[in-house]
Structure formats: structure tokens, C-alpha cells
Amino acid sequence: MGSDIIIVSGLPRSGTSLMMQMLQSAGVELITDDVRAADIDNPRGYYEWEQVKKIKQDASWLPLVRGKAIKMVSQLLYELPASESYRIVFMERDLDEVLISQEEMLNRLGKSAPKLIEDLVPKLLPMSVVVKVLQYLLLERVPIRNLRTICETLAELAPRTQDPLALVAAVRIALGRSIVQNIGGLRQELPVITLDPALEQVLQDSMAGGGDGSPGFEPGLADRVQTALADSTRRQEAAGEPAVLLVAPKIRPWIAKLMRHSTPSLAVLAYNEIPENRRIRVIAAVGR
């Protein structure tokens, strides 16, 4: 493998820690720091290195890990500079299996915090709705390690709604700090793309006309929005910056779904998901 940097990545609970163990057994040197201690969910450890999370701010350490293996969340793969050579092992696991793994973690959380889980499932929400919420979060690559916060948020909102999309929106707000940190690292200012106010208003006004949770307007407008956002994303990535679209909460799920497959590196956030201590800098506004 020479000077190639080996990177193990994938969605949460997809087997990245197991792959790191396999590489180690094959004689590959791993770079880890054991900051995140082993627990019942990963009894042999998580094989993480905190420095990796800061790659957007500092990539000077990459030459030091040539020929070795590190673990990296999938969102940060887009931040890898072209100056190095990589071998990326991307773990794919059937989403149903990932969700089963999450259910097992919920069961273990129930043993350590029994009242929290008992009050939530099935008193307030059926397990099928909880799993649906986790599924939506995973589709958008939202870290779901903090199951306690997720469950507490669901328990608080469940008496008012069992709509998975509404529940996901509330959980995303609760996890806003970790979502933004995964995207922008520790930087205090987050560069964002926005929609032109007139376009954003059109989308919000037309949401009621779609009938399936999508705006009710001519397909051509959706195509133009998709193309413009893809162009803005490419410019951000070429400048070495994260691509983040900041929109009104009402249209965030639809925009995220629109861009998920064509431009997966674009993170779509709602205004109310940005922590109060994080400044934003608008670098582009997409219009009609």
C-alpha cells in the first residue's frame, strides 16, 4: 500500500470499528487515541482519532499517517485534500440491519435509564415510529449516538404528534450542535448558501399544494433549483469549504430530499438548527 492513507468510513453502526479490527489483524498500523472509550455497544473500542474531526481546519497531519489506517465519518470524506493518495474502505450495511442494531442500543439504554424508555415506548410512541425517526436521521447522515437526547426529545413531543417528520425536525434541533460541528468542525463562523427570499417564499407558500409533502409547482422550477444548488456546492468544495444550504424549517425536508442523490455532499439545515453561539456567513443566494 506504500504511501496510501487507508480510510475506513460509513454510516453509524455499519461495521467501521470491526473493519478497523480486521485491518489491525492483517498487520496494518491504526491511528487512534482511545478518547472515546469502549462500551457495551463496542466492547473492543471505537478506533477513533479526534484529530480527524478537525481536518477542515488542519490537514497538516495527513503525511504522518501514510501507510496507516484511520477512521472517518462519511461527511468528512469530501474534505480530503487531493495532495494525498487514499484507499477508502466504505462500509455498506443493509439499512434494516442498521436499524436493528439501533434497536439493540435502545434496549441497552433502557437498562441504564429504564424510566426514560418505559415512558417512551410504547406508552407515548410505538417502536415502529421511533425506528422510522432513526431511519430518517440515518438517511441524512445525522449522528445518532446520543440516543438519550433523541429519546428525551421524542418523549417531550410525542403527546402532541406522532408524525415522524415532525419528530425528526424536533430531534434535529436538539442535535443541532453536533450536526453543525460534524459539518463545520470547531470554526465559529459557518459559510452558508441561502435561497433568494422571493424563491423561499414561493416554496413555502406552495407546500400546501403538493399533497405529498412537496411544493405544488411546475417541475421546471425544481430542476432549476437543483441545478443552481449543485453549482454552488461545487464552487464551495473547490474553495475547500463545506457546502451548507440554510433554509426555512418548513421546506428543509423537501430540499434535502431533492438534493440527496444528485448532490449528497450538500448539507441542508434549517434556521432553527444553528446553535446560538455559531455565526453564519452568507456566501451565495440561489434565486429562480
pTM value > 0.75: no
Among residues 91, 114, 131, the one where a domain terminates is 91
Asked if residue 237 belongs to a domain, the reply is yes
Q: Give the CATH number of the domain where residue 209 resides.
A: 3.40.50.12790
Q: What is the pLDDT of residue 253?
A: 94
Do both 144 and 165 map to the same domain?
A: yes
Q: Which three cell numbers stand for residue 138?
A: 440515518
Same structural domain, 58 and 14: yes
Q: How many domains does the chain have?
A: 3
* Predicted confidence (pLDDT) per residue in 129-143, tens digit: 988 898 888 888 887
Same structural domain for residues 214 and 280? yes
pLDDT at position 185 is 78
Cβ–Cβ under 8 Å, residues 269 and 174: no
C-alpha cell at 146: 446520543
Amino acid 55: pLDDT: 87
One domain, residues 107 and 160: yes
pLDDT for position 205: 87
Q: Residue 217 belongs to what domain range?
A: 188-286
Spatial CB neighbours of 203, under 8 Å, sequence gap ≥ 6: 195, 215, 248, 251, 254, 255
Domain-embedded: residue 180: no
Q: Does any domain span residue 208?
A: yes
List the chain residues with pLDDT less than 50: none
Residue 118: predicted pLDDT: 79
Choosing from 91, 106, 136, the residue where a domain stops is: 91
Q: Cis bond leading into 122, ω under 30°? A: yes
Residue 78, all three cell numbers: 469530501
**At 158, which CATH number?**
1.10.8.540
> What's phi and psi for 3, nearest 5 deg?
-95, 5
Average pLDDT, the chain: 88
Give burial (CB, 10 Å; 0-12/13-18/19+) of 186. exposed
